[in-house]
Amino acid sequence: MATMTTVEPAGALLNGHDAADPAPQLPYLIDATTLAAHLGVTVRTIRRKVADGEIPYIRLGSIIRFDLAEITAWIDAARVAPDIIRCAACQNGTLP
């Protein structure tokens, strides 16, 4: 008895992606009010940073949204390491 093999058709494309593969995740976007509350600043401060090009944002027509992943990277890039004051006594291992 002959065995039949089936050939799976190539995956159909859905929005440019293979339908069998999971679609790429969309970014989680938040508005200026939510971002301001998260950062502990005013909405005016957020809007000023947008106008000055200091903060990454996404413009959807007249709507401004912020990608949390980009905001996290922006915060990490702005992180400042503390200055360590070295005095002669501290370098010797004795504190004044």
pLDDT tens-digit map of 9-50: 555 554 555 556 666 788 889 999 999 999 999 999 999 999
Q: What pLDDT digit, counting tens, does each position of 78-96 carry?
A: 988 776 666 555 666 555 5
Q: What is the reported pLDDT for 8?
A: 47
- The CA-to-CA distance between both ends of the chain, in Å, stands at 94
Domains of the chain plus CATH, in order, are: 26-79 (1.10.10)
**The two three-digit tokens of residue 4, written as one number:** 């039949």
